[in-house]
């Protein structure tokens, strides 16, 4: 019975994450630890690995909807994946009793960053010339920082990725949402591999989570391009803060 409940909850989670262009590892960690009582390091490893497959279906949908900047996604994603692997080495030096607070703090910070950019800042974006050195430095920098945060705290770092894509690379809100899913693929894969290597990945739990989230993510991504900008922005901001509250309360 618990398995069916988990699949249903993850399906609803996938709908939301596919819509806002998020991998949702932090949201999954909150659900697995608080609602289903899994140890946080197991939840972190399982959530990151699940993101690899969840974002795969969502990314295919986003690419078909032409919401993805392929070149930026490749550069940020590859450097982020390398940084995520090293981040997992740091994660196990943090006690489980404090990891939930660190993860919640990062989710809250990401929500604040998105709020500042999406609500208080201008909607006008100047996209960087992809042939310049500045573009490569910014793209690699976004990958290194977000990848390390993802591996260390078990989160997908989607808000940080989206802010980096908009502020530093000049992508629009919709392009940032779609490209972020593409970027999360290698980051989640590398992070999940790091947790698997350390014995913090529950394969059976992973398959259960995937059944719900992959279907939900693919369907949710269909609504990204059709949704009003205000609704998309609200979803981006509210989702990480909701996960943070669930983790600590």
pTM of the model: 0.78
Q: How does pLDDT run across 197-236, given as a tens digit for each residue? A: 888 888 889 999 888 887 887 788 777 777 777 777 778 7
Q: How does pLDDT run across 123-151, given as a tens digit for each residue? A: 566 788 888 999 999 999 999 999 999 99
Domain boundaries, the chain: 2-248
End-to-end CA distance of the chain, in Å?
Answer: 25
Q: What is the mean pLDDT of residues 150-155?
A: 88
Residue 183 is encoded by which pair of tokens? 């970027």
Residue 73 pLDDT = 94
Residue 242 is encoded by which pair of tokens? 């909701």
* Cβ within 8 Å of residue 175, ≥6 positions away: 67, 68, 69, 165
Smallest Cα–Cα separation from 62: which of 115, 9, 22, 113?
22
């Amino acid at each position: 019975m618990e398995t069916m409940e988990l699949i249903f909850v993850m399906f609803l989670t996938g709908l939301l994450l596919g819509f806002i262009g998020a991998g949702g590892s932090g949201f999954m960690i909150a659900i697995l630890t608080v609602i289903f009582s899994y140890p946080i390091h197991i939840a972190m490893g399982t959530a990151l690995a699940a993101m690899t497959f969840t974002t795969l279906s969502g990314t295919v949908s986003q690419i078909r909807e032409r919401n993805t900047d392929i070149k930026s996604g490749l550069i940020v994603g590859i450097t982020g994946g390398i940084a995520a692997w090293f981040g997992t080495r740091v994660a196990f030096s943090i006690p489980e009793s404090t990891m939930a607070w660190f993860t919640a703090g990062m989710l809250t910070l990401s929500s604040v960053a998105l709020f500042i950019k999406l609500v208080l800042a201008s909607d006008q974006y100047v996209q960087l010339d992809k042939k310049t050195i500045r573009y490569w430095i910014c793209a690699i920098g976004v990958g290194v920082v977000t990848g390390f945060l993802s591996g260390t705290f078990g989160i997908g770092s989607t808000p940080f990725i989206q802010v980096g894509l908009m502020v530093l690379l000049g992508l629009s809100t919709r392009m940032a949402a779609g490209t972020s899913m593409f970027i999360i693929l290698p980051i989640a894969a590398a992070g999940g591999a790091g947790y698997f290597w350390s014995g913090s990945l529950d394969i059976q739990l992973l398959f259960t989570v995937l059944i719900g989230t992959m279907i939900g993510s693919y369907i949710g991504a269909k609504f990204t391009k059709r949704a009003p900008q205000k609704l998309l922005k609200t979803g981006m901001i509210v989702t990480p803060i909701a996960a943070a509250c669930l983790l600590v309360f």
